[in-house]
Amino acid sequence: MTLEDPKLDWTARRRQATRREILDAAWETARTDGWEGLTLRRVAERVGMRAPSLYSHYASKAAIVDAMFGAAWQELDDEMAQLESELPDDPRAALLLVARSAFGFFTSEPVRHTLMNLIAVPGFVPSEESYAPSVRNLDRLRRLLTRCGITEAAGVDLWTALIGGLTSQQIANDPGGDRWARLVPRAVAMYADQFGLPRSV
Amino acid sequence: MTLEDPKLDWTARRRQATRREILDAAWETARTDGWEGLTLRRVAERVGMRAPSLYSHYASKAAIVDAMFGAAWQELDDEMAQLESELPDDPRAALLLVARSAFGFFTSEPVRHTLMNLIAVPGFVPSEESYAPSVRNLDRLRRLLTRCGITEAAGVDLWTALIGGLTSQQIANDPGGDRWARLVPRAVAMYADQFGLPRSV
DNA sequence: GTCTATACACCGATAGAC
DNA sequence: GTCTATCGGTGTATAGAC
């Protein structure tokens, strides 16, 4: 429910827009100063407000971070949904596409990555509502892998470990480079072999 | 040089012992309250001191964290050195042993894991001195994999991604469980297949 | 809704007595 | 080497005027 609803009246729409502005400012702050540098004063400054004014729109700093978490997973899920609708028939090609998409999504925004994977943000615990998109995304991944011929339960867990490992290494040890990005095709082939996918022609 | 040197005189040895106590207290504090909860006041309380007294032993809070980083990597490297001396001849068995060892080391102490892999500790950047053990460890890993028949350069990067991915998933999504621990043998087999290691008998 | 002013709790670090 | 006292700063959050 972070998107604007055209049926709302003017003041409600204005409120939504302001919440959006605050969220954007929070992302920019986190990108610049890291999660430990994300403070209400800095966010407010970027929006053009004073810190206490933020409380008219979010109940607390935690509520802001919570909204960021939900929005990030929703964003990934939207991307995966798009991908799902245009998946190639060849299982290996499809797998590679999914892998590259996720890898690119995470590595392009390291700060977002640390929030989504629950590392680095002090005492943050997502609310049930903001957790929902990440669950939806895992379901979608399960479906996607099944369509690629991965039916075993272990398939999903090994997939998340493999892709997550590649992205984390890329971000931590070669930020901005492609040392692990270059390994993605090979990693996917290795994974496909393990689950007995037919070789492409 | 964090180990005690028997040739030092009494006061120097006492100093070393106190530094050790402080480091231990810092670990315990980080385990209990997380890295954001690691404060000099809490560490001092655990040691039985007042916060300012810590400055007689460490120049700053950053110096303490730095020492923890170096000690953690030294600890892992010691374990890997032990492993190296008793490695089985069969390449696949050796690989599995290395994987299990690293996986167990990291997952047994999640807080240590986040420090070693440079996620979650505010603005920490390791000093050259404390960074050295981690470099040594990577060299050892390279040597270890070579002995197992992994000669390609990509071998090390894919290995760290795979093992790191498994450990991170285990810690983040099933702490205390074995959902990804159970996948380690399969992941190692998949990896060994990719690099053409002969199958065990 | 936004502002100013402020409460309250902490933090890392320093000065100087003992 | 450890203490007390304190500095200068941070943070989140609230009260109340406009």
Tens-place pLDDT, residues B2-49: 555 666 789 999 999 999 999 999 999 999 999 999 999 999 999 999
In the prediction, which pLDDT does A123 show?
A: 80
**The pLDDT of residue A8 is above 80:** no
Q: Which nucleotides of D are covered by protein (CB under 7 A)?
A: 1-5, 10-16
Q: Which CATH class is domain B60-194?
A: mainly alpha
For residue A62, say whether its CB is under 7 Å from any atom of strand D: yes
Cα B70 to Cα B4: distance, rounded to the nearest angstrom: 16
Which tokens sit at B143? 């040597």
Work out the pLDDT band at B1, boundaries 50, 70, 90. low
Work out the pLDDT band at A4, boundaries 50, 70, 90. low
Cα A60 to Cα B78: distance, rounded to the nearest angstrom: 46
Mean pLDDT of A103-121: 92
Q: What percent of chain A has pLDDT over 90?
A: 89
Work out the pLDDT band at B192, boundaries 50, 70, 90. very high
For residue A87, say whether its CB is under 7 Å from any atom of strand D: no
For residue A41, say whether its CB is under 7 Å from any atom of strand C: no
**Annotated domain spans of chain A:** 1-58, 61-194
Cα B131 to Cα A70: distance, rounded to the nearest angstrom: 36
CATH of domain A61-194: 1.10.357.10
Tens digits of per-residue pLDDT, A146-173? 999 999 999 999 999 999 999 999 999 9
In the prediction, which pLDDT does B118 show?
A: 82
Q: Report the predicted TM-score, pTM, of the whole model to 2 decimal places.
A: 0.94
In the prediction, which pLDDT does B5 show?
A: 60
As to burial, measured by CB atoms within 10 angstroms (0-12 exposed, 13-18 middle, 19+ buried), residue A50 is exposed
Contact B168 A168 (CB under 8 A): yes
Better-scored residue on pLDDT, A176 or A201: A176
Contact B169 A164 (CB under 8 A): yes
Chain B residues touching A179 at Cβ < 8 A: 157
In the prediction, which pLDDT does A9 show?
A: 80
Cα dist from A74 to A81, A97, A160, whole Å: 10, 19, 18
Cβ atoms of A120 and A65 closer than 8 Å:
no
Cα A65 to Cα A70: distance, rounded to the nearest angstrom: 9
Residue B8: CA count within 13 A, CB half-sphere: 13
Interchain contact A59–B (C-beta under 8 A): no
Which of these ranges, A7-16, A121-130, B123-132, has the smallest mean pLDDT? A7-16
In the prediction, which pLDDT does A66 show?
A: 97
Q: Distance (Å) from the C-alpha of residue A154 to the closest C-alpha of chain B?
A: 8
Cβ atoms of A83 and A190 closer than 8 Å:
no
Cβ atoms of B171 and B108 closer than 8 Å:
no
**The pLDDT of residue A69 is above 80:** yes
Better-scored residue on pLDDT, B10 or B106: B106
Q: Average model confidence (pLDDT) for chain B?
A: 95
Q: Distance (Å) from the C-alpha of residue B166 to the closest C-alpha of chain A?
A: 5
**The pLDDT of residue A2 is above 60:** no
Q: Which CATH number fits domain B1-58: 3.30.450.20, 1.10.10.60, 1.10.10.10, 3.40.140.80?
A: 1.10.10.60
Mean pLDDT of B77-83: 98
